[in-house]
Structure 1
């Protein structure tokens, strides 16, 4: 028997792929799929698969056996992919058969890490295939994420989608709200009697090519040297400064676009400004910053379900306004060492540790930002010395560990390329006089269209929010006033039947 082809997957002490039916060591189980035998730790399977966890705790005869055979519903290649993902690997799933096998295995064995991995790798090349496969096998989380991606990139994928996937899948995707670009102006708290025109949050009307009013910032909310992030489609503004003495704002504010309501939340335990903040898997992270004119390295995490801030491992060194990005569910932060060095560290929440990922040495004058697309990190900076109006960009691939210098983007005195946001295969850069959209390709960012800038002075932030199509969302109700759930259609227009364990 040969190992399934097309996968660069390694084996470790959790799993072995055998050629024959040999004896199984204690605490392990031998699983036969098609013509392949896999020897896997029981605990490993129970940690990552709801199917095996239920089987081993069922009390049935099979729960005590050290040899199992899976017939139908999962292929050897799909199982191999699942094992690799559960070990923390990033298998390159390129061939359509590999993707379908992975979705089928995720559904049959109920492997949550594999579902998350498939959601992470959705792109314009595989979106339609994963959308159909998720509908067919009833993988709801993947189905919804693929539908959202199609919704955002529909103009680019429309022709292919209409010729390859059922009409009901297209219709469902179009009922969703696309991600809209949102910009936030520079504002410090003032008395309510003053009409502060900068105290606004705007969204980009892409059809009109201009920014329009979305909501006003709360009076006591500061965006001056604050932390701004989006988590679970909610906008968070944390900290900031106010007043002549630049005192730190102790509270945080959260905007829910579905209700249009702002709420007040507690601020970090350590008051800070000029810190780095991002949202990831139910938590906000506040990294470094400045306290009383002193740079700090302390870091905190806010649990949105508990409403609590807790300290985490200090950053590798004191840092302010560091660029950050999330790629493939991994969190990366830039630490600049003047004049020419940028260390990129990854924070691993499960271990509460910082690890050095890579170091970039480039001549640069001031500041930079970082965004992610697929498994690439794009680090942008101004040119050195007198060439500061030229934006330079380097790309780091977290899978291959390779740096690539991207073609330079020349701009004029209207602003610098330092506020960028990624949606699908598009990068939007926002300046006070100009908003530009680029198409991200392997050769760099190609100009696509030009729109009006965010005409507010001072610092600005840009992010993505899914806004209701017709104002705040209200529950769907039937004729008797009862709420009605909207189900996920499969290729026949209804839910696929639940797959039963063999």
Structure 2
């Protein structure tokens, strides 16, 4: 048998032989890092035998390590979980977390519990908590302690905040609040009041690790740029300030991932920006990241499969979707959508689908069209039907499990996602505030929910 190329090693799993970069295994797997650093004879061998592991799971692992995002059937999920448990491969565990769905969450939970993959146990339990009404009957066979664990978790709650400028000194504005939808009572309740100096007008707002972050925005009669940044700690029910952007801006887009915030584009002194700043929560510091492919403001952004995607428009009728690859600090053009001119849009994600919402052409502003791009198949489809709130098209949406929440002052309209369309499921109370609305999901501590409901 020929020797593997320099820097490679052959790994035999069952009857299959894989030729793999040694450094990739060392970087991604605690098992291989320990093995190749142990000084044992395996360190210099050209071929290594792995006992009692499925070759199919090892193949899935290699696909993930090489940058693929494979869809997995039940057998592949089980084999992949066994491999990540034995080889301690964080990227594979993260991929499994990203592909948890209604179809596989119970399987994921059971297999992760069997093999002790704790991050996946928690992620699949959180997903089941969000879709609990749909999967409750399927969980009756679980041990009582596992059921208790799932039920101990808080489900995601739909949260909204309207446009507010900083408060004028000595003037108490009771409307400056962040509210959440109590679905059982069909009522919007106050979660917290905004800090006096905080602005949600043209600000960047994002949730990271279940905390709310507000960056930038404008305030005052002259629409001055707000320098301060604010964080709401959901667990402690408290606000704090954190360091300001290096390049002040408004009408920016803010998103969070892996312990960092990303502030993208926006405006400053009537100039559209292409700069991107990255905030490291642990060190409370901002640094510059790779510039946007071109300047943009109010950019639609979403996260899917653990990846960040944005829409950049090219007037009159072209929308480019880019992925920001955080580990490489680079932007990659994913696809382009060409449609007749439309105004205002947002983007949300469900599993490996990106949904781009846009208003109809100028002669039909109130019509909302939705186009779906599937990341796995790399295909566009147009959702059948029209999606319209009673007061106009969709400008904001949030997805919980397989459910889409949209809202305006008249009503909260809830859809269920079914393959190629969103089906209206129910109507809830409209959001009782004026102005543009930011929406997102939070998991409210159960003791806080009880206290809030008593008020």
TM tier, smaller: over 0.9
Aligned to 1:57: 37
Structure 2: gaps spanning 5 or more residues: 451-455
Matching of residue 90 in structure 1 with residue 44 in structure 2 = no
1:197 maps to 174
| Alignment match, 1:45 | 25
1:153 pairs with 120, 127, 131, which one? 131
Residue 422 (structure 1) aligns with: 399
TM-score computed with the length of structure 1 as normaliser? 0.87
Residue in 2 that maps onto 1:114: 92
Contact 2:415 2:423 (8 Å CA) reproduced? yes
In structure 2, relative to structure 1, the CA distance for the partners of 1:400 and 1:410 (3 Å cut) is: closer
**Distance of 2:240 and 2:56 partners within structure 1:** 48
Partner SS for 1:409: coil
Q: In 2, are the aligned partners of 1:415 and 1:432 still within 8 Å (CA)?
A: no
Distance 2:86 2:389 in 1: 55
SS of alignment partner, residue 356 of structure 1: strand
Which residue is 2:453 aligned to? none
The residue aligned with 2:197 is 220
Whole-Å separation in 2 of the counterparts to 1:411 and 1:400 = 28
Q: Is residue 48 of structure 2 the alignment partner of residue 68 of structure 1?
A: yes
How far apart are residue 208 of structure 1 and its match?
Answer: 1.2
Cα distance in 1 for partners of 2:76, 2:374 equals: 22
5+ residue gaps, structure 1, are: 1-20, 474-502
Deviation at 1:181, TM superposition (A): 0.9
Max radius of gyration: which structure?
1
Q: Is the 8 A contact 2:389 2:408 kept in 1?
A: no
Distance 2:214 2:5 in 1: 54
Which residue of structure 2 aligns with residue 185 of structure 1?
A: 162
Return the match for 1:80 from 30, 54, 59.
59
Give the Å deviation of 1:416: 2.6
Is contact 1:364–1:381 with CA below 8 Å preserved after alignment? no
User: Runs of 4 or more off by more than 6 Å in structure 1?
Assistant: none
Relative to structure 1, the CA distance from residue 434 to residue 39 in structure 2 (aligned partners, 3 Å threshold; closer, same or farther) is same
Matches within 5 A, 1:99-178: 99-163=77-141, 165-178=142-155
Alignment RMSD, CA only? 1.5
SS in 1 for 2:111: helix
Task: Note the C-alpha offset of 1:354.
Answer: 1.5
What is the match of residue 339 of structure 1?
Answer: 316
Q: Distance in 1 between matches of 2:174 and 2:102?
A: 39
| Structure 1 residue matching 2:137: 3-state secondary structure | helix
TM-score normalised to the size of structure 2? Answer: 0.96
State the aligned residue count.
450
1:61-460 equivalences in 2 (<5 Å): 61-72=41-52, 74-94=53-73, 96-163=74-141, 165-411=142-388, 414-460=391-437
Q: Is the 8 A contact 2:216 2:252 kept in 1?
A: no
Of 411-420 and 182-191, deviating more is 411-420
Between 135-144 and 44-53, the greater mean CA deviation after superposition: 44-53
**Could you tell me how far 1:230 is from its partner in structure 2?**
0.4
* Aligned-partner SS, 1:335: strand
Aligned equivalents of 1:407 and 1:210: distance in 2?
31
The 3 A distance-change label for structure 1 pair 410 and 371 is: closer
Whole-Å separation in 1 of the counterparts to 2:9 and 2:69: 24
Does the aligned pair in 1 maintain the 2:390–2:410 contact within 8 Å? no
Q: Please, which moves more after superposition, 54-63 or 428-437?
A: 54-63
